[in-house]
């Protein structure tokens, strides 16, 4: 009898696995996952204007950053003014981002690793700030840092109070807009000098060490500032928004594929749990 129940559970697991491996019944079709985000077709969906976002980003260069107080991963207050005396790299992320923010953070990690090899960990600091409040809490930022393997002693993850998010993001020239899949936001790393003034904006998710080392060397040695180029040149050179770019249409779109993948995994595990639970209940029922 026990063997019969074990076989039933094994068959249930096999059936669940087969179901998970089979083509999904309601997976996102290509038309849904590849459709560009069209303001005319979806007037209630905000779309970030990348040229306007870039102009705002560049407008704060050479401007001082105010003394904001945020919370660290240990929920203790951290003042941005406390980082003065050394160059500071600042990135804005939201922890609910499944694609671009983790990719950008990992690429920044690689660039920081190579920069540390050249300059050392005691020559600069890094902070990542969660702008989606109250969801980017200290615990959420701590989990995000752990998931992406960030262990640098000079890299902190900070949570601002909801009331200061707008002022804080404006100070760094950071733009964002909500979308059905999360947020569309400018992908930038802001380099702040030792006096607390914005020195350079670095764009795109594919960062490399040269983009960090050279401007930081300029700050440390007092070398002349190299110009970053005209806005049109920056737009041509790098995609700056946190959304999926469709080369066939030349537009940005919301990527729903990952949402359906997650739903598929959850369905798979729930299916297994249901079958196993059913088998265990029938085993306890007399006469079965």
Across the range 46-74, mean pLDDT stands at 89
CA atoms within 13 A on the CB side of 125: 18
What whole-number distance in Å separates Cα of residue 219 and Cα of residue 199? 8
Sign of CA dihedral 220, 226, 231, 237: negative
Kindly tell me if the per-residue pLDDT of 25 is higher than 80: no
| Top-confidence range, 143-157, 177-191, 266-280 | 143-157
∠ CA 148-151-156, nearest 5°, is 90
What lies within 8 Å, CB to CB, of 110 at 6+ separation is 207, 208, 209
Kindly tell me if the per-residue pLDDT of 259 is higher than 60: no
Predicted structure pTM score: 0.65
pLDDT at 18: 40
Residue 112 φ/ψ, nearest 5 degrees: -65, -40
Across the range 41-59, mean pLDDT stands at 74
Kindly tell me if the per-residue pLDDT of 42 is higher than 60: no
Judge whether 125 and 82 are in contact, CB under 8 Å.
no
Instruction: Find tokens 């009898």 and name the residue.
Output: 1
Question: Which of the four pLDDT bands, split at 50, 70 and 90, describes residue 122?
Answer: confident
Other Cβ atoms within 10 Å of 224 Cβ, number: 6
pLDDT at 272: 78
What lies within 8 Å, CB to CB, of 113 at 6+ separation is none
Sign of CA dihedral 215, 78, 103, 154: positive
Judge whether 95 and 73 are in contact, CB under 8 Å.
no
What whole-number distance in Å separates Cα of residue 268 and Cα of residue 186? 35
Question: Which of the four pLDDT bands, split at 50, 70 and 90, describes residue 31?
Answer: very low
Q: Facing residues of 194 across strands?
A: none
User: Which residue would you say has higher pLDDT here, 164 or 4?
Assistant: 164
What whole-number distance in Å separates Cα of residue 13 and Cα of residue 135? 36
Helix then strand then coil, % of the chain, to nearest 5: 45, 20, 40
User: Which residue would you say has higher pLDDT here, 18 or 114?
Assistant: 114
User: Which residue would you say has higher pLDDT here, 107 or 229?
Assistant: 107
User: Which residue would you say has higher pLDDT here, 48 or 14?
Assistant: 48
């Amino acid at each position: 009898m026990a063997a019969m129940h074990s076989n039933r559970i094994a068959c249930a697991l096999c059936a669940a696995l087969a179901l998970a491996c089979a083509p999904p019944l309601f997976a996102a079709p290509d038309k849904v996952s590849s459709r560009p985000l069209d303001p005319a077709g979806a007037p209630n969906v905000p779309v970030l204007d990348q040229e306007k976002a870039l102009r705002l980003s560049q407008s704060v260069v050479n401007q001082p950053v105010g003394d904001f107080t945020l919370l660290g991963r240990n929920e203790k207050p951290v003042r941005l003014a406390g980082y003065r005396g050394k160059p500071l790299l600042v990135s804005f992320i939201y922890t609910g981002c499944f694609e671009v923010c983790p990719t950008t953070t990992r690429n920044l990690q690689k660039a920081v690793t190579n920069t540390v090899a050249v300059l050392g960990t005691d020559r600069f600091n890094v902070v990542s700030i969660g702008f989606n409040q109250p969801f980017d809490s200290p615990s959420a930022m701590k989990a995000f840092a752990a998931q992406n393997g960030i262990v640098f002693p000079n890299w902190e993850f900070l949570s601002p109070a909801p009331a200061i998010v707008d002022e804080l993001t404006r100070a760094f020239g950071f733009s964002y807009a909500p979308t059905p899949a999360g947020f569309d936001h400018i992908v930038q790393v802001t380099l702040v000098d030792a006096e607390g003034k914005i020195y350079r904006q670095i764009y795109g998710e594919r960062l490399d060490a040269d983009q960090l080392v050279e401007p930081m060397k300029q700050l440390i040695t007092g070398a002349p500032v190299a110009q970053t180029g005209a806005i049109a040149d920056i737009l041509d050179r790098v995609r700056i928004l946190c959304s999926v770019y469709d080369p066939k249409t030349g537009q940005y779109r919301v990527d729903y594929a990952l949402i359906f993948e997650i739903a598929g995994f959850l369905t798979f595990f729930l299916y297994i749990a249901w079958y196993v639970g059913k088998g265990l209940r029938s085993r306890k029922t007399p006469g079965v």
